[in-house]
Amino acid sequence: MATLIITEKSSQAKDLRAALGDRYGRILPAEGHLLRLAEPDEVNPDWKRWSPTLLKPDGLYPTRPDSGGNKTAKLAAIKAALKGCDQVILATDCDREGQLIGQEILEHLGFRGRVQRALFTAQDPKTIRDAFAKLKPNNELRPLYEAAVARQQADQIFNLSLTRTATKTLLAPGTRGVIGIGRVKTPTLSIVCLRELEIRNFKPEDYFEVVATATAAGGSFLMRHAPPPKDRIKDRARAEAIARAADGHGGPLSVTVEDRRQAPPKLYDLPALQKTCGQRWGWTADRTLEVAQELYDGEGKKLITYPRAEARYLSENQIADVPAIAGALTRLRGFAHLDLSRPVIRRGKSGHFCDKALEGVSHHAIVPNVNVLDDLESRLNRLTDDEKRLYALICRSYLAAVMPDYEYRQTTVLMNVPVEGKPVVFRAVGRIPLKLGWKTAFGSAETDGKPDEKEEEQTLPPLADGEPARLSDPRVEAKRTQAPPRYNEGTLVDAMQNAWRFVEDPALRDRLKEAKGIGTPATRAEIIKGLRRQNLLGADGKWLVPTPAGLQLFETLRGAAPTLVDPGTTALWEMRLDEVVVGRADFRSVIDGIADEAGRLIGVLVGNQGPAVDLGVRGGPIRAGRGAGRRRSTSPRAAGTTPRPRTRKVAVAAVGVDGEAPKTPRRSRKAKAAPEVPDSMSPVADAAPPAPAAPPSGARRKAPTDKMVAFARSLADRKGVELPNTVLQDFDSCRQFLDQHAR
């Protein structure tokens, strides 16, 4: 009998064929998720009509074949191949969602043979061959699969139930549209709304700095007294007194000269690429992904590695590719001036090649594709201007990563001026480049990396420590604090990835860092696009602004159901999935808990007495026709989506919760762990948590996870409440404590 290898996408299948040939068996690709969950009305016909109802079936939502792209043909090919096989090797991505993509096919088709798992984070031949030499029994990953099922099922129940409820209870009479609710979408709206409110409520403050000319034996230069923000001078009289004291003051200079080095910036993942392209060229996040995708798999191109990357490192196996890539790129006219004769390899988390940093990550950083270097010129001739621009940026990033450090000499000059008996420090900084190193890869027009100092630099004359100087011509400069800038799509993607910054609790911040924020590289651009299509976000030039409807919805949810707009809720949900992975919780109980939370939130929204939300689209009531509430979780344009009732000539009503586009994407991609998974620990205002069910007689009670205990201790300390011993010892008691106090 034969062995079948199932990959997640065609590019993986091609790389496996190149690395393995037919040694292990036939290789067939999926196309992301080949299956979808059944629609609510396919489970219960009564759920076809939209109402504030918890859409939870008695068991699980069954899977159905998906018809998007080439999914039908690919599922049929796998089904036919399985009939002649007694063994399968799953070679999908090694994360939670990748496990679901492969295993759900076998579950759906009822395969009962032997199943093994290949785990790899890079797709170079050596990494692939090493992974296949160390195959694991797939049943070892059963908990990971069950956590993914919990995420998927909870996503369906929570998103669809609450989107229908919000649309029926919050939408203004006489208007059309869908008020989408989602674990990623509503916190993303919250991030933009909070920034907008911060800008509107910002009150600028005047402050002052003092500048004077310092004259020493070698020449003159400017020195400045500019205290840090917390000590800024807000009284002009005080600044003028400092200026008077500085006028004609003479004294010794404190001169410090340091030779410093600056390593090149990290390689690009998709969020970093989207942020850079937004800042440099005004591209939307979706535009960046579109161009990158074309460079990755466009006909006759395939110039870069997988673009939906979630790490900024390469595997240590890829060090062997450096001479070939650097040699090919420096033969191009734009990079011919660079000296890559002795590439610099930086290992570890402070460098660029680090296996440890890729643990649990499916895709390494975005870099030039080593497999197409033989006919690089002909491929470049097929590129559009934007594709050339983006490819050059990725190439520069790679070349910089293997070039020497930027070296410079920094001179810091200080002088104390006595004012009312206390010294006031005037300061000047000069920097002389010694070796440009990696900066030559970017050139003067396009540098990258952050400067070490934010203060003004200047060319200083020769100075010696302790030599005398005199200050003259002091002047007071009036300045004013500025409101924070609005987000563009690139900086909003960055804020989503770093959403832990919006969370106060240390335990939740740490877990959100581990989860890499809210959304995934595969879904964030579509989430933003979905918010714009639903008229919850608008644009002011390149800046994103909440619409009146977006602000109104945010305020309503913040008051009625704050967990829906809190990025920290993601951390709570991920903790529940962690419990499934480590075997401390049954995945069905997690789904039940999330459904309970959705039910409580439905009650909160139904009882809301706040103003209705006007999306600005006039018309009659929404009519739920065929496909109403459809969720297409298998596509990047439908990641974590919710109902789409079909209404006539109303584009807004055709938009899903987390950015679903009504059209079928050009290339399908899994909803990369867009875990729209609320947690039964997530509190709801004015809703008491249910008491934990007593265990069966004689049953051993499970202990809470370490992260649950840490969060409970943090809450108890912060709120000044007693922490019972049972909370530290019993899973259900700890969970009830978190339900009561995590507000």
- The pLDDT value given to residue 595: 94
Provide the Cα torsion 312, 441, 339, 394; round to 10°: 40
Residue 678 has pLDDT above 70, yes or no: no
Residues 613-623: what's their mean pLDDT?
A: 63
Confidence label for 662 from pLDDT (cuts 50, 70 and 90): very low
Integer angstrom CA distances of residue 443 from 98, 128, 325, 327: 40, 37, 20, 19
CA 376 – CA 133 distance, rounded (Å): 32
Task: Give residue 175's pLDDT.
Answer: 87
The structural architecture, per CATH, of the domain 206-262+407-480 is Distorted Sandwich (2.70)
pLDDT at 663 over 60: no
Mean pLDDT of 463-480: 97
Q: Which long-range contacts (CB under 8 A, 24 or more apart) does 545-548 make?
A: 545/192, 545/196, 545/486, 546/189, 546/192, 546/193, 546/196, 547/616, 548/614
Q: Comparing C-alpha atoms, which of 5, 156, 94 is closest to residue 642?
A: 156
* Over residues 367-387, mean pLDDT: 93
Residue 693 CB coordination number (10 Å): 8
Q: For 110, what's the count of Cα atoms within 13 Å in the CB-facing half-sphere?
A: 1
Whether pLDDT at 668 is above 90: no
Long-range contacts of 126-134 (CB under 8 A, 24+ apart): 126/317, 126/320, 127/315, 127/317, 128/15, 128/16, 128/19, 128/20, 129/19, 129/20, 130/317, 131/91, 132/20, 132/24, 132/89
User: Please, are residues 262 and 405 in contact by the beta-carbon 8 Å criterion?
Assistant: yes
Hey, what are 531's tokens?
Answer: 């918010």
Instruction: Tell me the average pLDDT across 203-224.
Output: 97
SS3 content of the chain, % helix, strand, coil (to 5): 40, 15, 40
Residue 329 confidence (pLDDT) above 90: yes
The answer to whether the CB of 63 falls within 8 A of the CB of 35 is: yes
Residue 480: how many other CB atoms lie within 10 Å: 8
CA gap 181, 736 in Å, rounded: 25
What pLDDT is recorded for position 729? 80
pLDDT at residue number 101: 96
Distance CA 140, CA 130 (A): 19
Element (H, E) at 706: helix 706-719
| Nearest of 476, 483, 482 to residue 235 by alpha carbon | 476
Q: Could you tell me the two tokens for 283?
A: 């591209």
The CA distances from residue 423 to 251, 310, 415, 709, in Å, are 12, 50, 9, 50
Average pLDDT over residues 115-131: 88
Confidence class of residue 618 from pLDDT cuts 50, 70 and 90? low
d(CA 138, CA 115): 6
Q: What confidence score (pLDDT) does residue 299 get?
A: 86
Q: How far is CA 264 from the centre of its chain?
A: 22
What count of other Cβ atoms lies within 10 Å of the Cβ of residue 648?
10
Token output for 202: 């910002």
Q: Which pLDDT score, from 0 to 100, does residue 683 have?
A: 26
Does CATH place domain 152-201+485-607 in 1.10.1740.10?
no
For residue 594, is it left (φ>0), alpha (ψ between -120 and 50) or beta?
Answer: alpha
For domain 3-134, say whether CATH 1.10.1740.10 is its number.
Answer: no
Please give the pLDDT value at position 570.
Answer: 80
Give the CB-side neighbour count of residue 268, counting CA atoms within 13 A: 31
* Residue range 614-625: mean pLDDT, rounded: 56
Distance CA 19, CA 364 (A): 18
* Residue owning tokens 């790899």: 120
- At 478-531, the pLDDT tens digits run 999 999 999 999 999 999 999 999 988 888 888 888 888 888 888 899 999 999
**Looking at the predicted structure, is the pLDDT value of residue 638 above 70?**
no
Tell whether the model's pLDDT for residue 648 goes beyond 80.
no
- Band the pLDDT of 717: cuts 50, 70, 90: low
Cα(82)–Cα(547) distance, integer angstroms: 52
State how far the Cα of 101 lies from the Cα of 634, in Å rounded to an integer.
9
Can you tell me whether residue 225 is helix, strand or coil? Answer: strand
What phi-psi label fits residue 155: left (phi over 0), alpha (psi between -120 and 50 degrees) or beta?
Answer: alpha
- Written as one string, the DSSP assignment of 554-620 is HHHHHHH-GGGG-THHHHHHHHHHHHHHTTSS-HHHHHHHHHHHHHHHHHHHHT--SPPB--S-B-S
The rounded mean pLDDT for the chain is 85
Which residues lie across from 225 on neighbouring strands? Answer: 210
| Residue of 569 and 512 predicted with greater confidence | 512
pLDDT of residue 719: 67
Share of the chain above pLDDT 70, in %: 85
Phi and psi dihedrals of 425, rounded to 5? -90, 125
Please answer whether residues 625 and 654 qualify as being in contact, where contact means their C-beta atoms are separated by less than 8 angstroms: no
- Intra-chain end-to-end CA distance of the chain, in Å: 57
Query: Between 152 and 453, whose confidence is greater?
Result: 152
Distance between alpha carbon 528 and the CA centroid of its chain, in Å?
12
As a whole number of angstroms, the distance between CA 57 and CA 63 comes to 13
Q: What is the mean pLDDT of residues 334-353?
A: 95
The whole-number average pLDDT for the span 220-248 is 96
The answer to whether 136 and 119 have CB atoms below 8 angstroms apart is yes
How far is Cα 38 from Cα 156, in angstroms, rounded to an integer? 10
Highest mean pLDDT of the ranges 247-251, 440-444, 735-739: 247-251
Cβ contacts of 690 within 8 Å, gap of 6 or more: 596
What tens digit of pLDDT does each residue of 53-86 get? 999 999 999 999 998 889 999 999 999 999 999 9
Rounded-to-integer distance, Cα 33 and Cα 598, Å: 25
- With a pLDDT cut of 90, the percent of the chain lying above it is 65
In the numeric block, which tokens belong to residue 602? 């439905």
The residues, ordered by sequence, that sit 6+ positions from 158 with a Cβ below 8 Å of its Cβ are 183, 594, 595, 597, 598, 676, 677, 678
Pick the closest to residue 404 from 438, 439, 443 (CA basis).
438
Handedness of CA 390, 395, 401, 403 (dihedral sign): negative
Question: Domain ranges in the chain?
Answer: 3-134, 152-201+485-607, 206-262+407-480, 270-402, 706-742
Question: Residue 473 — φ and ψ, nearest 5°?
Answer: 50, 50
Which residues fall within 8 angstroms of residue 679, CB to CB, at 6 or more apart?
Answer: 569, 572, 573, 575, 576, 593, 594, 597
Lowest mean pLDDT among 98-112, 327-341, 461-475, 609-623: 609-623
User: Do residues 191 and 502 lie in contact, with contact meaning Cβ atoms separated by under 8 Å?
Assistant: yes
As a whole number of angstroms, the distance between CA 87 and CA 3 comes to 5
Does 270-402 carry CATH code 1.10.1840.10? no
- Region 698-706: mean pLDDT is 61
